[in-house]
Amino acid sequence: MIFRIFTILSSFFILGLHTVAAQTTYDLGLYLGGVNYYGEIGKKAFVAPNRAFFGVIGKMNFTESLSARASVTYLTLADNDRDANDGFRGNGRNQNLYYSFEHTNIEAAVALEFVPFSFFKNKPNPIDFYIYGGVGAIYGDEGYYPLSNGFEDVESVVYGTRTRLTLPMGAGFKTFVGRNFMLGIELAPRYSLNDNLDGSFPDDERVEANRLPNFENNDWYTFIGLTLTYRFGKGSDAYCDCTL
């Protein structure tokens, strides 16, 4: 009896996988735009891109509303207290002391993407609103700031590299342009599970004394990006006028 139930359930599972595989399509293309860091150095602006980024992105579309996505991105995070518009950082932290950094990184991220609704659904190429969330990692420069008594500009010194976990999330709009190409635009914050993307809180024991005081918040960085992808796979022709 148990074997019969197992056989029936296995048959349904295999049939389900076959059905999903028959309907699955794939998107592959470019991901590029602007990025900015948000933390203890420079401007206090969550969305203020000051460096370009570029990368590749791929998606596996299970249904018209649900996809898995993965991306690999090259980016530079940078900021300068002299660009800050607040009364503390922008005024030299009460010591005529201005910190700055410029660190290069590579990010890899995977996420689930969901389309809750679409605009112009009765048109050949509707515009989808989508949200996503997942996990990722950013590999890049690890820095620290030399000790200073003030009255100078201090740049981050890179002493190594490190991989840090991130929580990618985002929201945007996408639509078909042509038969198989899709264009998207998105706002995509990243929360880093680390406070040293900027060099303010190094983990290395050799430079613990160089940590900036009273900073305990993890760093963020935010993408404003465009995606241009090509649709292929089983059923891709049938999908060219749908909402993915």
Task: Give every CB contact of residue 78 below 8 A, 6+ residues apart in sequence.
Answer: 37, 50, 51, 100, 101, 102, 103
pLDDT of residue 28: 98
Assess if CATH 2.40.160.20 describes domain 24-239: yes
Low-confidence ranges of the chain (pLDDT < 70): 1-23, 214-216, 235-244
pLDDT of residue 237: 53
What DSSP assignment string belongs to 162-224?
EEEEEEEEEEEEEEE-SSSEEEEEEEEEEEES-S-SSSSS---GGGGGGPPTT--PPPEEEEE
Please, are residues 34 and 68 in contact by the beta-carbon 8 Å criterion?
no
pLDDT of residue 124: 81
For 135, the 3-state DSSP assignment is strand
Q: Which two tokens stand for residue 78?
A: 């940078």
Give 121's DSSP letter: T
Report pTM. 0.86
Q: Which two tokens stand for residue 216?
A: 């305990």
pLDDT of residue 17: 41
